[in-house]
């Protein structure tokens, strides 16, 4: 896989698989009086009440991928079928598709039109590649600004910070009935969620490793649009920090549609070669 192709693969994985980032400032009204403390159960119920509920979601996007000071910008199309499929087509320039990516609860699929190759595998491989435990529920939630739906919510603690409500939890675990045979015991060491006090939409999420403060993932959401009566963030900002690198991905949605009929084509051309291993940093 050439260097550019590897970058696109990493962009897809980081954009649409890693849990992630941006701040809800675009449509928020000024809050003059101090917020009244609320209980965690109340805030969690309001979060669920106001989250995006949909059958199908689609949007065009522009994404900027930055590692340290180096930036790459691509555009493309995103389609989601709730709890079933995340489909992405990436077009770096001139409107010509470079890669197509499809994620399901069981698998990850990737077509590279620049090198005439394709990749088919499950989450076990991706978790090994990224040294991170991920699943479809996390990816879907971060792309639309919802909370995880398959994880327990009975250990949240509530507070107020910077005129926003905040929910904190430690070792948040995946509900046992949703754990697949191929998965290890999945838990989130440290998680914080900030909520807009008027819309109760998520403005920011922070995930951290319990034993390693330098490794964290932050997702922020802003510029909310009213689409068919539903508030949807059109600006998303993801930040990944490790001991070695700082990665930032900024995404801007346009032409957002909810519950419109759409397809998820993923046909592998006969002359394409299957690859068994993807290491984005290798040439």
CB-CB contact of 83 with 109 (8 Å): no
Q: Is residue 281 part of a domain?
A: no
CA distance 201 to 74: 27
Q: DSSP code of 11?
A: H
Domain count, the chain: 1
Mean pLDDT over the full length of the chain: 83
Average pLDDT over residues 43-63: 96
**Does 208 score more than 70 pLDDT?**
yes
CB-CB contact of 100 with 118 (8 Å): no
Query: End-to-end CA distance of the chain, in Å?
Result: 6
pLDDT given for residue 1 in this prediction: 46
pLDDT given for residue 147 in this prediction: 95
Q: Is residue 121 part of a domain?
A: yes
Helix orientation angle between 3-16 and 123-130, rounded to the nearest 10 degrees: 110
Q: Is residue 159 part of a domain?
A: yes
* Residue 76: CATH number of its domain: 2.50.20.10
Give me Rg for the CA atoms of the chain.
19
Average pLDDT over residues 5-33: 47
Domain extent, residue 63, equals 3-265
Q: Is residue 190 part of a domain?
A: yes
Q: DSSP 3-state assignment of 51? A: coil
Q: How confident is the model at residue 186 (pLDDT cuts 50, 70, 90)?
A: low
Average pLDDT over residues 197-207: 96
Q: Is residue 283 part of a domain?
A: no
From 45-49, 60-64, 125-129, the region with the lowest mean pLDDT: 125-129
Q: To the nearest whole percent, how much of the chain has pLDDT over 90?
A: 53
Q: What would the pLDDT profile of 86-139 be if each residue is shown by its tens digit?
A: 999 998 767 789 999 999 988 889 999 999 999 998 877 766 665 566 788 989
Q: Is residue 50 part of a domain?
A: yes
Q: What would the pLDDT profile of 233-253 be if each residue is shown by its tens digit?
A: 999 999 988 777 888 999 999
Q: Is residue 276 part of a domain?
A: no
Q: Is residue 274 part of a domain?
A: no
pLDDT given for residue 29 in this prediction: 47
CB-CB contact of 223 with 195 (8 Å): no
- pTM for this one? 0.84
């Amino acid at each position: 896989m050439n260097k550019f192709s590897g970058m696109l693969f990493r962009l897809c994985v980081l954009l649409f698989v890693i849990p992630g980032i941006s701040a809800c400032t675009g449509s928020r009204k000024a809050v003059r009086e101090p917020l009244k403390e609320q209980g965690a159960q109340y805030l969690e119920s309001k979060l669920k009440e106001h989250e995006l509920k949909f059958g199908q979601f689609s949007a065009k996007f522009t994404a900027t991928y930055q590692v340290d000071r180096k930036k790459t910008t691509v555009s493309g199309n995103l389609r989601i079928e709730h709890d079933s499929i995340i489909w992405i087509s990436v077009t770096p320039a001139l409107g010509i598709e470079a890669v197509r990516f499809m994620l399901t609860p069981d698998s990850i699929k990737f077509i590279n039109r620049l090198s005439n190759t394709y990749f088919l595998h499950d989450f076990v491989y991706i978790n090994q590649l990224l040294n991170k435990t991920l699943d479809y529920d996390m990816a879907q939630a971060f792309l639309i600004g919802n909370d995880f739906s398959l994880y327990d919510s009975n250990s949240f603690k509530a507070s107020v910070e910077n005129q926003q409500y905040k929910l904190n939890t430690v070792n948040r675990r995946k509900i046992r009935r949703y754990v697949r045979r191929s998965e290890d015991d999945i838990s989130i060491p440290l998680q914080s969620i900030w909520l807009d006090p008027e819309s109760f939409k998520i403005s920011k999420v922070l995930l951290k490793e319990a034993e390693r403060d330098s490794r964290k993932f932050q997702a922020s959401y802003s510029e909310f649009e009213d689409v068919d009566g539903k508030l949807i963030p059109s600006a998303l900002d993801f930040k990944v920090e490790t001991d070695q690198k700082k990665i930032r991905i900024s995404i801007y949605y346009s032409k957002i549609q909810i519950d419109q009929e759409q397809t998820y084509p993923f046909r592998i051309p006969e002359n394409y070669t299957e690859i068994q291993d993807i290491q984005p940093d290798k040439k």
